Structure 1
Amino acid sequence: MNLIFADHAWDDYLYWQKTDKKMVKRINSLIKDIQRSPFEGIGKPEPLKHALSGYWSRRINEEHRIIYKVES
């Protein structure tokens, strides 16, 4: 599975690497889980609707989410 970050998402990831190692550890854990099982697992995966139909989200914490799309 290839990971492609949106530019702003990559900037956010780099920011978290500098400021909050615990957040990066959680993000990495979510990414690994998404690779294993994209539609179930940790972070309360849920399909998005309307303009983001076809995408999924998972909770990083109470405030932040990972939004992703799985393509064949």
Structure 2
Amino acid sequence: MGFDDITEAALVQPALTTVSVAAKEIGRKAGELLYSRIQGNDEPPKRIILPPALVIRESCGFRREESAISGH
């Protein structure tokens, strides 16, 4: 199980199940909040929730039948 859904997660064997976060959206929101603060906006802090997504790949789930038989 990984986090950030980096490209390499899909390239390894077995492909790694990971949690994907909206990194670009997080950066964009942070930039907007910073710019607003620099412009003098004194709003109280607020919580922004960007939901993650579970990317299920080969590293999670049932064993393949041939693996179960061979014991690997």
TM-score normalised per structure 2? 0.33
TM-score normalised per structure 1? 0.33
Structure with more relative contact order (C-alpha pairs < 8 Å, separation 6 or more): 2
